[in-house]
Amino acid sequence: MKNYTSINDIDNINAWIEEAKEIKQEPLKNKELGKNKTIGLLFFNSSLRTRLSTQKAALNLGLDPIVMNVSGDAWGIEFGDGTIMNGNTAEHIKEAAQVVSQYCNIIAVRAFPTLTDKEKDESEQVLTAFTKHASVPIVSMESATGHPLQGLTDAITISENSTKKKPKVVLSWAPHIKALPHAVANSFTQAMQKMDVEFVIANPKGYNLNPEITKNTPIYHNQEEAFKDADFVYTKNWSSYETYGENLGGNEDWLITKDKIGAAKFMHCLPVRRNVVVEDAVLDSENSLVIEQANNRTFAAQLVLKKILMQEA
């Protein structure tokens, strides 16, 4: 693994989960590993958990984090090949990625999709450009189509909270007022497909995820049916993939309620809009794992950074 940009970069998810649990037990054990090294955290978009947990993970490994809001702090970046740069972009990614590689031993990047241009989003323009032009390892802090640090976090959290050999995990679409990316849902799906769980997806018609990602995972358009005997209900809104990037409206009855999930554990990557996506009663109950998930973000990031640093060494 040179870079960590997708759940597909995980060779053995069970081994990774066990190693993450060990890190969680003793987070400062590898404090010398990142000594005198820097990680650049480049944000093209807003972030709370990712911004803080990745810094915390870096500090636990002795790395010096250097944080930058690319858009506000630096220059508009051009991604096109052969472009005559007489517009709004002042620096080409070819230079930017190589330049940042001079100062940082690892580069972590967050760049959301357009949600208007499917082809561009699926090409993962920003992330691909960094992996192509940088001379140091690249870590995705959420890209157009995936959020692999979140997906790994969720796998760890399910493993920690599972009381069965093969729990049933449901990924359920939920309503939202905006059109949101597919990244979290995609990475969660890919993570679950690698684990020994019974995994199903529930979403309204028109909201099927990219079939190249869902593959053989059963998809229900009836939420109640999907939730039957569920041990974990992972909730997330996403915009339509078919009618690309659109919020089709309606489906407010997909709101996650206490009645619906019963004894299942509730999961969400956060931020979550209360009483739009899920009702207060769920989030405020003991069945909610959302804060544990947030906590595990540190250890997922720390595992990825540790693996990269050990390989570099």
Task: Write the DSSP string, 114-143.
Answer: -SS-HHHHHTTHHHHHHHHH-SS-EEESS-
Residue 290: its H or E element: helix 290-312
- Determine the 3-state secondary structure of 238 from DSSP: coil
- Is residue 126 within the footprint of a second copy (CB under 8 A)? no
Q: Is 78 in the site for a second copy (CB under 8 A)?
A: yes
Q: Which of residues 127-186 bind a second copy (CB under 8 A)?
A: 177
Of 13-42, binders to a second copy (CB under 8 A) are 28, 31, 36, 38, 40
One of 30, 98, 162, 193 touching a second copy (CB under 8 A): 98
Give the residue from 237, 238, 231, 224 showing the smallest Cα distance to 289.
Answer: 231
Pick between residue 199 and residue 299 the one whose CB is nearest to a second copy: 299
Residue number with CB closer to a second copy (94 or 118): 94
Residue 219 is encoded by which pair of tokens? 């998809």
Among 243, 257, 275, 311, binds a second copy (CB under 8 A): 275
Shortest distance in whole angstroms from residue 260 CB to a second copy: 18
Residues 6+ apart with CB under 8 A from 59: 65
Taking contact as CB under 8 A, which single stretch among the options 6-14, 122-130, 152-160, 273-281 is the one that binds a second copy? 273-281
- Where are the strands (E) in 37-132, listed by range? 38-43, 64-69, 77-78, 91-92, 106-110
Q: List all residues 6 or more positions away from 63 whose beta carbon is below 8 Å from its beta carbon.
A: 34, 37, 38, 39, 105, 106, 305, 309
Question: Applying CB under 8 A, does 86 fall inside the site for a second copy?
Answer: yes
Beta strands (DSSP E) in the chain are 38-43, 64-69, 77-78, 91-92, 106-110, 138-140, 168-173, 198-202, 219-220, 232-236, 265-267
Verify binding: residue 249, a second copy, rule CB under 8 A: no
Nearer of residues 145 and 237 to a second copy, judged by Cβ: 237
Residue 216 engages a second copy in binding (rule: CB under 8 A): no
Judged by CB under 8 A, which of 11, 25, 26, 72 binds a second copy?
Answer: 72
Told to check if 305 binds a second copy by CB under 8 A, we report no
Contacts of 230 (CB under 8 A, 6+ apart): 168, 169, 170, 261, 262, 264
Binding a second copy by CB under 8 A: which of 211, 218, 262, 271? Answer: 271
CA-wise closest residue to 278 among 167, 175, 141, 161: 175
- Cα–Cα distance list, 217 to 192, 278, 295 (Å): 10, 24, 28
70, 43 contact by CB (below 8 A) = yes
Least separation in angstroms between residue 186's CB and a second copy is 20
Q: Using CB under 8 A as the criterion, what x/- string covers residues 39-68 for binding a second copy? A: -x--x--xxxx-xxx-xx--xx---x-x-x
Of 219 and 281, which CB lies nearer to a second copy in the complex structure?
Answer: 281
Nearer to a second copy, 66 or 248 (CB): 66
Binders of a second copy: how many residues, by CB under 8 A? 61
Contact residues toward a second copy (CB under 8 A) are 28, 31, 36, 38, 40, 43, 46-49, 51-53, 55-56, 59-60, 64, 66, 68-69, 72-75, 78, 82-86, 89-92, 94-96, 98-100, 102-104, 177, 270-276, 280, 283-284, 290-291, 294-295, 297-298
